[in-house]
Structure 1
């Protein structure tokens, strides 16, 4: 089993290590393995709603994946991130092939800083990336980061709250924030120790 204090040398070594059984999430950050408990109910509810809205809109030649792993540096790199949902090319026989056009992350108090910081920066640099959607599980707040598609790959961010909408250009889909959150906002009831 990988000790979280142990620095590994690559994604390849991390993937070969024995991981704890159960509903755990495993990521490799700067060569250091991190294991976290599975998502809370509010997170899972939002993820399920996203999946229901997105599945019919996924274009031919692509598929919607849950828990998709990305390793920006390849097998010799030091980062391996797990994505909540991603729209990726449907490439038969190549399970490790991941060039998402759309990434969706459900944020909570213990993941928001990393997901909207380092992970967002890394994901913006992935070839073919068009949009990254962040949905808060603790307040009615959706942020869509979109690549302008120009040579400098500049990005814009649109936000929407209660009563707002977000257009996912990669799927040609308009999402109403109220529909995404259901009849009431999904709010995490878990309190984290300071």
Structure 2
């Protein structure tokens, strides 16, 4: 997601104003703006599968799922990211038009060019959101989901899910089969070594 930083400082206000009319999405990290790369069709289908199932699950609950055009604002770190799927159950988020500050769940579909950042610095930044209870990383290369869940002591615990398992997102009491996340996705079979 992050590439091509601009090295002159940009205020959060100028960033948000620019994003309103920009044909290209940018993430904002402490005064620097980064152009987002486009997503593959596999990435988009996986994100849509997750978002549609979450939307159905959350109907009437007071919680709302949003897709990749809604930013997560990490106010304490002066950061705006575009997660693939974000869920908020906090009424304070209704006051914002194009970002959320109090999500309980953030989901990123991993791309080869962003996986290290999503697992590293981005996750470190997201952990500053006190409302966040789960951070979920979804592979697009194989049926694999890593759910990091904040426990009662504030520690982040990994709950990995693989093929033929059922995922549980405790923050919104959601369950679904891994197969549902990867519906309509065909994985390439490994080539035999000769």
TM-score, scaled to structure 1? 0.81
Worse-matched range after superposition: 4-13 or 35-44: 4-13
Q: 1:113-192 alignment to 2 at 5 Å?
A: 113-150=116-153, 153-182=154-183, 184-185=185-186
RMSD of aligned Cα (Å): 2.4
Aligned length in residues? 180
Q: Deviation per CA, 1:141-191, whole angstroms, max 9, x where unpaired?
A: 1100001033xx11100112211222111121222112211255457xxxx
For structure 1, list consecutive stretches of 5 or more residues without a partner in the other structure: 188-194
Instruction: Please state whether the residue corresponding to 2:101 is helix, strand or coil.
Output: coil
Q: 1:1-194 alignment to 2 at 5 Å?
A: 4-17=5-18, 21-22=22-23, 24-58=24-58, 60-67=61-68, 68-73=70-75, 78-88=78-88, 89-90=90-91, 91-95=93-97, 96-150=99-153, 153-182=154-183, 184-185=185-186
Instruction: Please state whether the residue corresponding to 1:47 is helix, strand or coil.
Output: helix
Distance 1:17 1:179, change over 3 A: closer
CA distance in 2, matches of 1:63, 1:111: 26
Distance 1:92 1:5, change over 3 A: closer
For structure 2, list consecutive stretches of 5 or more residues without a partner in the other structure: 189-194
TM-score, scaled to structure 2? 0.81
CA distance in 2, matches of 1:105, 1:45: 13
Question: How far 1:104 sits from its partner (Å)?
Answer: 0.9
- Asked if 1 retains the 8 angstrom alpha-carbon contact of 2:109 and 2:138, the reply is yes
